[in-house]
Structure 1
Amino acid sequence: MAEFPDLDSTWSWIVMVAIFVALSVIGGTNYTVGLVHNILLEKYNETQTTTAWVGAVHTSISNLAAPLSSALIDHFSVRTAMMTGGLLYTIGFLSTAFAPNISLSVLTFGVIAGLGGASGWTASMIAPNSIFKKYRNIAQGISFSV
């Protein structure tokens, strides 16, 4: 413990709350792609099948890009992966709001936001292990109770 005085500190609990919020946002987005689907249907007047690609690509990349985000965490850090995920998520969502067609929405919401979701999700799963020792189980239980 003397080597790592930051473990189980007040700051650790603040980070745990941030992890809970991040998992809520990322998980909530993955579970609500149907709402985005309906909005994009109205916005672009495309077919159901074409519009469904946006949510399908987003959810697929969010779940399948874990090895890529793990490599990011190993090469840099959990903090860097989390910041990258948040930045990609923000860029993906804002770009989708201004996308002129459905093809660009597949790229912005599907690929860019999907990569941000993968990076943020994986980093959020690993972060409690690096900032808690004594209260690790409690912190993980609270963080993952989304």
Structure 2
Amino acid sequence: MTELEYFWNVSPQNVAISETEVHVWRACLEPEEPKLRELSQTLSSDERTKADRFYFERDRNHFIAAHGFLRAILGRYSDMNPAHITFSYSPHGKPLLTWPLENICFNMSHSNGLALYAVTSNRHVGIDVEYVRPMPDAEELAKHFFLPVNMP
């Protein structure tokens, strides 16, 4: 068992959530090919169209995995087939669940092959993940793009 796996529980099949809880899920966006095909089959036609717009296969596969896993997670809260989950979209393009899941709120973030999902009930939620990489030239970049700070 890796250190990361030690801190995460195995996901239950059916879950319920109260208004006082936030559940956090994680997923690797580089599943084996059979799992990627399975996840792809759960996507809506508009999600498949968006996936097909990616130039690089890796980015397309990450999109399919991220949205497929989101559907799988949300299906566990509703005991619904992930392919039957429908979304509406806010004016800014944020996906929202429609009946019978309109009380479930979620957010997802992904970076460098890892996705995090936050799920709660009847309130907005946000989550963010960002890959931190070494930047040996950070000081030179800062000097080039930012003005010096005058400290009193």
Q: What TM-score comes out, normalization by structure 2 length?
A: 0.27
Relative contact order higher in (CA < 8 Å, ≥ 6 apart): 1
Q: Which has the larger strand fraction?
A: 2
Q: What TM-score comes out, normalization by structure 1 length?
A: 0.27
Q: Which has the larger helix fraction?
A: 1
